[in-house]
Structure 1
Amino acid sequence: MAVGPYVTLNAVLIGFFGFAAIYHFVLWWQSRRDAILLIFTLHCALCATLGACLLVLVTARTPAEGQRALDLRLELAALAQISQVWLLSLISGVRARWYVLLITAVFLTVAVTNLAVPLSGSVTGVERIFTSWGEQISILNRDAPSRWLGIAYALNLSINIFGFVCVARLWSSDRIGGVLVALATGAGIVFAVWALRIDLSGSRQPYGGAIHYPLWVVLIALQIARDYRRRGDRLAAAQQRFRAIFDQTFQFIGLMSVDGTLLEVNQTALRFAGIRAEDVIGKPFWETAWWMHSALLQEQLRQAVSSAAAGEVVRFEATHRAADGGVRFVDFSLKPVRDDGGAVVLLIPEGRDVTERKQAEQAVEESRQQLQRLADGLLIAREEERTTIAREIHDVLGQILTALKMDSAWIGSRVPGASPALRAKLATMSALIDDAVATVRRIATDLRPGILDDLGLAAALEWQSQQFEQRTGIHCSLRASVGYTAIDPVVSTAMFRIFQEALTNVARHSRASHVIATLERCGTDLILEVHDDGVGISRDDASTSRSIGLVGMRERAQLAGGTFSISAAGGGTTVRVQIPQREAVAV
């Protein structure tokens, strides 16, 4: 049989729908899985398959062949109606989920029911006729259709009503889009009426419903194209605004893939290094000009990229080579970007030039160190001066007072018959000299106890604890496990002065009744702890820098290369000093 216009037209329509399905599938793939394109692709594929069924209907030779094509046509039409409803809802933005789900459920029921009971009626015979243009086609003879078929067409009419609801929604924001969807809905009505007349009236006309339907597809395709063009314009404008903000920010910002390949970078970072975007885009980030000056930083960045790709936020201080050849300090960070499923898909590198802040910090640190050296020098000078004054008082004043004591005794021995008044005067003079000697010894001891230099730190601490107990009445016990050792003078002086200040604080503030002090060695370190059972020091007082006594103890420990801490854990107050003693030897 020669192929006539009717068959040719149906074949062309099948090709048209197939091409539309393939074309929009490619667009869907390139658009990162857009829902509208996907449903429209499925709709076009269903239309192509539906056209093939209609072609089989007009070329069928047997009732069985015609029955299979007729049943498949109804099932495909039901699926096409479902996709049409979903598509109209997405295009117009009409949120009618209850209606969409209802239509989906009913048409799926129609499709499943048709598998068991032919809703269009059973084919009883096939008749071959000639059209007016001389083409021979098939006409199916059928029983009366099921009442379900009428329900399906009624729902089809409601879909067209829903289409006009979508038109009204589109009209307020896109009148051209509203016109296109209205024309498409009108084409759908024409198709529904034409097919209804054939299916329900028993008309002996060939199935040509697919001839009307391309208009719906073309109009909807035009609306989708317009919508995507408008989206593209909005996206381009948004990208332009984003790029303006992206490039004008003071921070260095970029965009990387999870493997460390640089995808985007702003002009701030490019101007900083004096390079162009094409010099770095597409390269591993650690192989760009910002990092090439340091192999250590490159390796650190590789590890940071691995950590960020695993979902961590990484931040560290780095250096970058600037356009003038100098090295600048940069506060650098890597942040992961996650998709809706929580997977890391991109990395955002950020950096801020903190060279001026770093230089200011270095200047402050240098000033602090200078002040610390000055304070240390003053502390050493004060201790040396105290030692010198103590020695002068002990040696000079002590000798003078001793000579006066001897002279007064000599005078008393030379005047045995002196009057009682003279003897009383000599006794008073001798007592005053004794008081002066005791005062000189006390002052010299307070300035620099000789026991510290003569017998060592442990003996000096024991003597100081006894003096404290006698003076205040607070019981003070010392446990020293270091023995009589020769300790570096700087360390022994620091330990002794800290012990003195700690006992002074106990007497002034703690209201304690007992003090326990320990001196022990831990490796090469000497550790002194002083604990009282008083009211304890508050956390604010322990951390404040207003207390001259605490500041002095801390500075003495630091001067000797050690650490100082004070706490009130467990009740009372505990002062702890730990100082390295590399030259301590047993005596």
Structure 2
Amino acid sequence: MATATTSSATLTQDLQALFDLIPLPAWVFDDVTLRFVCVNEAAVARYGFSRDEFLRMTIADIRPPADRPIFLEEFARHRSDPLLRCRWRHQTSSGEVFEVEVSTRALVLEGRQAHFVIVTDMSEHLRLQEALFHSRRRLQALFDNALDAILLANDAGEYVDANAAACALLGCNRDSILQLHVWDLPADASASHTREGWNEFLKEGRMSGGYRLRACDGTMHDVEFRSVANVLPGLHLAILRDVTSENATRREAEERLKESHEQSRRVAARSRARREEDRTRMARELHDQLGQALAALKIDLHWVGQQTTIGAHVGSDELTQKIANMMRLVDETLSRVRRISSELRPPVLDKLGLLAAIEWEAGEFARRSHIRTRVKASVEHISLDRGRSTAVFRILQEALVNVATHAAASSVKISVSLVADRLRIGISDDGRGIGADQPPAGVALGILGMRERASLLGGAVVIRRGPRRGTIVTIAIPLAERRSVPRDDWND
């Protein structure tokens, strides 16, 4: 008997040592009494019973009381199964109830029937499963209720799912959409919306943009899209937003803004025309009325001077000197009147035309600024109406003012030519050159005015640095009224 007892004790110790190496709760229970024969450390830790407490319990005791009758019935029914796996609820010493998966294998231990059990705690698995379930429900709710159209496609470019917004956008049901390919939706066959474009998207992984979409009922929509490849392996996402109404609103706003700009430009043009008319009128009045009055005064003073010389008397020398001073002042005033009149509206512009006015202005500029100025014209006559001639002349004046004020130049060259049906004037200097950054505020405003004047005539002004130094201003104005002037063939 002593030998048998020692053998049994050794077997139990070996089994216990093996059990304690198993990371999951495990035990052996007797087939007849259902009492625990041995348990491992993992079972003690999870259930909260000591090893001695386990050995005084049956396997029915670790179940909630309500589950025990059902368990006993099921165990009796499957008692002879050599291998069994099933789900049960277990209960810890603290009363916590948790889901487990039980794997049971029948065995013979010390000549009696027993069962070896390994328990897998399903609590975390079930928690993750429930979280996944709720997560899927949330995603499905977002998918179903998204305001933007959401489409899912496989690697072959076939749609495999579509939300309600996609059905509304395309004007057909989900089953009809699942018959389509990605490249079936765009109305235009641009490179990004072909089979080749689809393959390129799969390589790049992302794509966004916009296109014209043809719905199933034939209606056209402007859409913006964002696509992401492999949101899940082999599953590709596209989000489409209908911007038809937004585009229409934007186009209307752009048209209104354009019309507002055109109206502002017309108002500016009328304002400039009125200023030119006022300048012409003021120049004429200065020349005709004030100039004539001064000329008459000079004649009278000359007569008074003669009379004073003929009837010499005491103090006549002083009187003669005063009359001479008055005549000199009258001459200077007449000169100023003529100069102011010319600046307000050069008579040469109306009498001899634009080319002569350009040559006259170049001479006046050279005299005032001491900058060597020459004009080279490849034409003898320029046929422009009065408004266009005035605008070109004022642009030229502004360009020369910028040279005198900011360029620090020693020479200026003005070229005049006709290219096709437009007048081209180039003003180049050898000064410091316009900066790559923003020009000074005064220059910027002057340039803006020059360009606005040219634009009102359907022309343009281009300003750039010279090849070595200095600045080149190129003015291009149509000889007759037109909307715009192409730049590619005169920007040189």
Alignment TM-score, normalising by the size of structure 2: 0.57
8 A Cα contact 1:482 1:519, kept in partner: yes
**1:371 aligned to 2:259?**
no
Counterpart position of 1:188:
none
Classify 1:548/1:335 alpha carbon distance in 2 versus 1 (closer, same or farther; 3 Å).
same
Give the counterpart of 1:465 among 347, 357, 362.
Answer: 362
8 A Cα contact 2:159 2:181, kept in partner: yes
Consecutive unaligned residues of structure 2, counting only runs of 5 or more, are 1-98, 107-127, 202-206, 483-492
Classify 1:507/1:349 alpha carbon distance in 2 versus 1 (closer, same or farther; 3 Å).
same
Give the counterpart of 1:574 among 472, 477, 482.
Answer: 472
Alignment TM-score, normalising by the size of structure 1: 0.49
8 A Cα contact 2:153 2:235, kept in partner: no
In structure 2, C-alpha distance between the alignment counterparts of 1:528 and 1:440, rounded to whole Å = 30
Q: Considering only aligned residues, what root-mean-square deviation do their CA atoms show, in Å? A: 4.6
Counterpart position of 1:407:
300
* Letter of the structure 2 residue corresponding to residue 574 of structure 1: I
Q: Deviations over 1:457-503 (max 9, x none)?
A: 22212211111111111112222223222223333222211111111
8 A Cα contact 1:334 1:348, kept in partner: yes
* Higher relative strand content: 2
Counterpart position of 2:224:
332
8 A Cα contact 1:475 1:513, kept in partner: yes
8 A Cα contact 2:208 2:227, kept in partner: yes
In structure 2, C-alpha distance between the alignment counterparts of 1:348 and 1:492, rounded to whole Å = 59
Give the counterpart of 2:336 among 439, 443, 450.
Answer: 439
8 A Cα contact 1:468 1:474, kept in partner: yes
In structure 1, C-alpha distance between the alignment counterparts of 2:387 and 2:158, rounded to whole Å = 57
SS at match of 1:515: strand
Classify 1:554/1:238 alpha carbon distance in 2 versus 1 (closer, same or farther; 3 Å).
same
Counterpart position of 2:396:
499
* Letter of the structure 2 residue corresponding to residue 351 of structure 1: R
* 1:347 CA drift (Å): 8.5
* 1:274 CA drift (Å): 7.3
Counterpart position of 2:290:
397
Classify 1:502/1:346 alpha carbon distance in 2 versus 1 (closer, same or farther; 3 Å).
same
* 1:405 CA drift (Å): 2.8
Q: Deviations over 1:439-459 (max 9, x none)?
A: 111111111111122222222
Classify 1:240/1:517 alpha carbon distance in 2 versus 1 (closer, same or farther; 3 Å).
farther
8 A Cα contact 1:314 1:335, kept in partner: yes
In structure 2, C-alpha distance between the alignment counterparts of 1:534 and 1:483, rounded to whole Å = 29
Counterpart position of 1:311:
200
* Letter of the structure 2 residue corresponding to residue 471 of structure 1: R
Classify 1:431/1:268 alpha carbon distance in 2 versus 1 (closer, same or farther; 3 Å).
farther
8 A Cα contact 2:407 2:433, kept in partner: yes
Classify 1:544/1:333 alpha carbon distance in 2 versus 1 (closer, same or farther; 3 Å).
farther
More divergent stretch after superposition (415-424 vs 252-261)? 252-261
- After superposition, residues 512-523 of structure 1 pair within 5 angstroms as 512-523=409-420
8 A Cα contact 2:457 2:481, kept in partner: no
8 A Cα contact 2:212 2:223, kept in partner: yes
SS at match of 2:295: helix
Classify 1:410/1:367 alpha carbon distance in 2 versus 1 (closer, same or farther; 3 Å).
same
Give the counterpart of 2:351 among 424, 432, 454.
Answer: 454
8 A Cα contact 2:427 2:474, kept in partner: yes
8 A Cα contact 1:455 1:484, kept in partner: no
In structure 2, C-alpha distance between the alignment counterparts of 1:310 and 1:492, rounded to whole Å = 60
Q: Deviations over 1:551-574 (max 9, x none)?
A: 211211111211122222532222
* Letter of the structure 1 residue corresponding to residue 270 of structure 2: G
Counterpart position of 2:34:
none
* Higher relative helix content: 1
Give the counterpart of 1:267 among 153, 164, 169.
Answer: 164
Counterpart position of 2:240:
350
Give the counterpart of 1:426 among 316, 319, 323.
Answer: 323
Counterpart position of 1:96:
none
- After superposition, residues 210-249 of structure 1 pair within 5 angstroms as 241-249=138-146
Classify 1:519/1:432 alpha carbon distance in 2 versus 1 (closer, same or farther; 3 Å).
same
Classify 1:534/1:451 alpha carbon distance in 2 versus 1 (closer, same or farther; 3 Å).
same
- After superposition, residues 55-204 of structure 1 pair within 5 angstroms as none
Classify 1:583/1:487 alpha carbon distance in 2 versus 1 (closer, same or farther; 3 Å).
farther
* Letter of the structure 2 residue corresponding to residue 439 of structure 1: R
* Letter of the structure 1 residue corresponding to residue 268 of structure 2: A
Q: Deviations over 1:401-446 (max 9, x none)?
A: 2332333334444555143333333322322222222111111111
* 1:374 CA drift (Å): 2.8
In structure 2, C-alpha distance between the alignment counterparts of 1:467 and 1:237, rounded to whole Å = 87
In structure 2, C-alpha distance between the alignment counterparts of 1:471 and 1:576, rounded to whole Å = 23
* Letter of the structure 2 residue corresponding to residue 383 of structure 1: E
In structure 2, C-alpha distance between the alignment counterparts of 1:458 and 1:424, rounded to whole Å = 45
More divergent stretch after superposition (251-260 vs 458-467)? 251-260
